[in-house]
Amino acid sequence: MYDAPHPPKGLPNLPGVGYKPQHYNDLIANPGSVGWLEVHAENYMGDGGRPIAQLRELTKRFPISVHGVGLSIGGEGPLDSAHLARLKHLVDWLNPTVFSEHLAWSTHDGAFLNDLLPLPYTEDTLTRVCDHIDELQTTIGRQMMLENPSSYLAFDESTLSEPDFLREVAKRTGCGLLLDVNNVFVSATNLNYDPKQYISDYPLEHVREIHLGGHDEDEDDHGKPLLIDSHGAPIVDPVWALLDHTLALSGPRPILIEWDTDVPEWPILHAEAERAETALSKVTA
Amino acid sequence: MTVTQTTFRSAILDSQQDRPLGLSDAEGQPAGRRFDVYRNNVAVSLTDALATGFPTIAKLIGDENFNAIAGIFLRQSPPASPLMMHYGAGFPDFLRDFEPLAHLGYLGDVADLELALRQSYHAADTPPIEPDALAAIPPEQLGDVTFTFAPAVLAFQSPWPLHAIWAFNMQDGPKPEAIAQDVIILRPEFDPEPHALPPGGYVCLTSLRAGDTLGVAATKATEAAATFDLGALLTLLMSGNALTSITIST
């Protein structure tokens, strides 16, 4: 259980964007509605050069959220101690406002598969995930947030619902939660449940950041919709509606626009941030 | 039915294998191509990472060939760490040993160059010596100086026209001639640039990096190549902010 010595720092309840180097000059010139930035931890683990120089400059101007994509918190094996040390080094020098990681695994038997792979929700995996989060929070000396995944399939062995699993993780470890509303929509469509019910079941009191992104549409073997999280397209209207539903229950939260592949020109990304700003303006704390 | 991560991983990397049992859709039917989403994500993201890291190789053999070869490589050598900036360290040797491409003998060296460009891009920042630091050394002591080099400076030898092959494909340079070319990568600020090393340049550089004085290094270089031009090499190093300290050894 991680006991924060002080009330943990938080991002402002404003739109943020996933930082892409091609937007550096636009962001410096006029960030518009964008009040904070998120970076992928693993892209800033080199020794120097442009990525580090840009991040040093950006952190003077924006609150920074560091989002890890490679720790494999849901992995069956132990956490990679070399990677834990790299995360600690980054968090130590950058002192970001928040740090988050995924409810997923990506490394097994020494191979990193560069994708967020799913795990069953059982008492065993709950214990394992909590142990790994404890280890991470102790190593970096701060609270982390855990993000819900996009699901394409279900494990027959699961005994807990995802919201119950996440509620228990937050309770046992003291971690915060990062609610990806697009992932909820994708998973609910793929596994045929009501996304609004998921949000109602979700421990919103632990949510300290929201993610929004685009997805692709495909079909499964039986012609049923199969949505695929891609972060490579505009956010669809039903996801914006689910955001409104969420904010009405949770109150305002920091909202990130994620666009990682086929990254658009700045005005298109900024328009998504403006739309998030409009959604935030409709709710009060 | 427990699906272990060993089973999951193995089925992701080998699409000839059956999909793991115990994974279902909302109706409890086998997951089928829902599992293939993960197979596809892994293969596409790793192929993209290799294509981003080795653009000259992709251009030399064409995207279709590149994707097919990357698909073989990523399955036998998936990343060993989550730092994708280092992925593909084994790709040059893989290309050298890949029988169907044996007629393109230079691919391994070109891949080494692209790997080194990436390594240089992420190397530590170190302040260079002042532009006049070399000129300030009394001429009679010039032979006694030693240097340290920025970590972004990388050099290697090749029996192929390595720099010309890179420049022809990436910078619309002239058609490569059949000569051997050693290459040095310099990073004046943030963007690494490959340069062809003149005759004797690699020998001089290696000697200097080993801690030899300029006098010793220049002698070795002249022995290796009678036309060695020390002034030209020093000008190149200074222009690339390659030198981080200069010391007169006593």
Task: Give the model's pLDDT for residue B249.
Answer: 85
Name the residue of chain A whose CA is nearest to B152's CA: A49
Summarize pLDDT for A171-202 with one digit per residue, the tens. 999 999 999 999 999 999 999 999 999 999 99
DSSP at A48: S
* Nearest CB neighbour to B46, from listed A47, A114, A191: A114
* Nearest CB neighbour to A155, from listed B3, B78, B79: B3
Task: Give the model's pLDDT for residue A8.
Answer: 61
Residues B155 and B172 in one domain: yes
DSSP at A263: P
Residues B152 and B197 in one domain: yes
How far apart, in Å, are the Cα atoms of A118 and each of A10, A72, A180, B35, B82? 28, 10, 15, 10, 17
- B156 close contact with A: CB closer than 8 A: no
Percent of chain B with pLDDT strictly greater than 70: 100
Task: Give the model's pLDDT for residue A159.
Answer: 98
Residues B48 and B166 in one domain: no
How far is residue A213 CA from its own chain's centroid? 10
* Nearest CB neighbour to A109, from listed B6, B82, B124: B6
Q: Which residues of B touch A218 (CB under 8 A)?
A: 37
* Nearest CB neighbour to A153, from listed B25, B81, B123: B25
The lowest-confidence range among A2-6, A125-129, A215-219 is: A2-6
Best B15, B41, B44 member to test A by mutation, with max A CBs in 10 Å, is: B41
What mean pLDDT is predicted for residues B143-166?
A: 97
Summarize pLDDT for B56-103 with one digit per residue, the tens. 999 999 999 999 999 999 999 999 999 999 999 999 999 999 999 999
β-pair type (A215-219, A176-180): unpaired
- A56 close contact with B: CB closer than 8 A: no
Q: Token pair for residue A204?
A: 């919103």
Q: Does the pLDDT value for residue A225 go beyond 60?
A: yes
Query: Domain boundary at B102, B122, B142, which?
Result: B122
Residue B22 to residue A157, Cβ atoms within 8 A: yes
Q: Which residues of B touch A220 (CB under 8 A)?
A: 25, 32-34
- Give the domain range for residue B186: 124-250
CA distance A210 to chain B (A): 24
What mean pLDDT is predicted for residues A85-108?
A: 98
Q: Does the pLDDT value for residue A7 go beyond 60?
A: no
CA distance A283 to chain B (A): 34
- B71 close contact with A: CB closer than 8 A: no
Q: Does the pLDDT value for residue A5 go beyond 70?
A: no
CA distance A67 to chain B (A): 13
Alpha-carbon gap, residue A270 to A276, rounded angstroms: 10
CA distance A103 to chain B (A): 15
Q: Average per-residue pLDDT in chain B?
A: 96
Query: Domain boundary at B98, B122, B146, which?
Result: B122
Task: Give the model's pLDDT for residue A6.
Answer: 53
Q: Which residues of B touch A153 (CB under 8 A)?
A: 23-25, 31, 34-35
From chain B residues 163-182, the ones with a CB under 8 A of any chain A CB are: none
Asked if A168 and A133 touch (Cβ cutoff 8 Å), the reply is no
CA distance A3 to chain B (A): 29
Residues B117 and B56 in one domain: yes
- B122 close contact with A: CB closer than 8 A: yes
Residues B128 and B249 in one domain: yes
* Nearest CB neighbour to A48, from listed B3, B27, B123: B123
Residue B23 to residue A155, Cβ atoms within 8 A: yes
- A157 close contact with B: CB closer than 8 A: yes
- B16 close contact with A: CB closer than 8 A: no
Residues B129 and B111 in one domain: no
Task: Give the model's pLDDT for residue B250.
Answer: 73
Query: Domain boundary at B85, B106, B122, which?
Result: B122
Residues B101 and B80 in one domain: yes
Residues B196 and B129 in one domain: yes
From chain A residues 214-243, the ones with a CB under 8 A of any chain B CB are: 218, 220-222, 224, 226, 228
Name the residue of chain B whose CA is nearest to A46's CA: B122
A and B: number of Cβ contacts within 8 A: 147
- A191 close contact with B: CB closer than 8 A: yes
Task: Give the model's pLDDT for residue B194.
Answer: 98
Name the residue of chain A whose CA is nearest to B85's CA: A43
Task: Give the model's pLDDT for residue A2.
Answer: 61
> Residue B17 — very low, low, confident or very high, per pLDDT cuts 50/70/90?
very high
Q: Does the pLDDT value for residue A256 go beyond 60?
A: yes
Task: Give the model's pLDDT for residue A284.
Answer: 76
Domains of chain A: 15-281 (3.20.20.150)
Summarize pLDDT for B171-186 with one digit per residue, the tens. 999 999 999 999 999 9
Asked if A194 and A163 touch (Cβ cutoff 8 Å), the reply is no
Residues B98 and B114 in one domain: yes
Q: Which residues of B touch A191 (CB under 8 A)?
A: 25-26
Residues B19 and B112 in one domain: yes
Task: Give the model's pLDDT for residue A9.
Answer: 73
What is the tally of structural domains in chain B? 2
Instruction: Say which CATH number the domain at B174 has.
Output: 3.90.930
Q: Which residues of A touch B81 (CB under 8 A)?
A: 70, 80, 82-83, 112
Summarize pLDDT for B93-123 with one digit per residue, the tens. 999 999 999 999 999 999 999 999 999 999 9
* Nearest CB neighbour to B122, from listed A47, A82, A191: A47
Helical axes B33-53 vs B5-13, angle rounded to 10°: 60
Residues B54 and B83 in one domain: yes
Task: Give the model's pLDDT for residue B89.
Answer: 98
Q: Above 0.90 for ipTM, yes or no? A: yes
pTM of the model: 0.95
Full 3-state SS string of chain B:
CCCCHHHHHHHHHCCCCCCCCCEECCCCCECCHHHHHHHHHHHHHHHHHHHHHCHHHHHHHCHHHHHHHHHHHHHHCCCCCCCHHHCCCCHHHHHHHCHHHCCCCCHHHHHHHHHHHHHHHCCCCCCCCCCCCCCCCCHHHHHHEEEEECCCCEEECCCCCHHHHHHHHHCCCCCCCCCCCEEEEECCCCCCEEEEECCCHHHHHHHHHCCCCHHHHHHHHHHHCCCCCHHHHHHHHHHCCCEEEEEECC
Alpha-carbon gap, residue B215 to B233, rounded angstroms: 14
DSSP A99-164: EEEESSEEEETTEEEEEEE----SHHHHHHHHHHHHHHHHHHTS--EEEPPP-SSEETT--S-HHH
DSSP at A73: T
Name the residue of chain B whose CA is nearest to A69's CA: B82
Residues B132 and B247 in one domain: yes
Summarize pLDDT for B205-232 with one digit per residue, the tens. 999 999 999 999 999 999 999 999 999 9
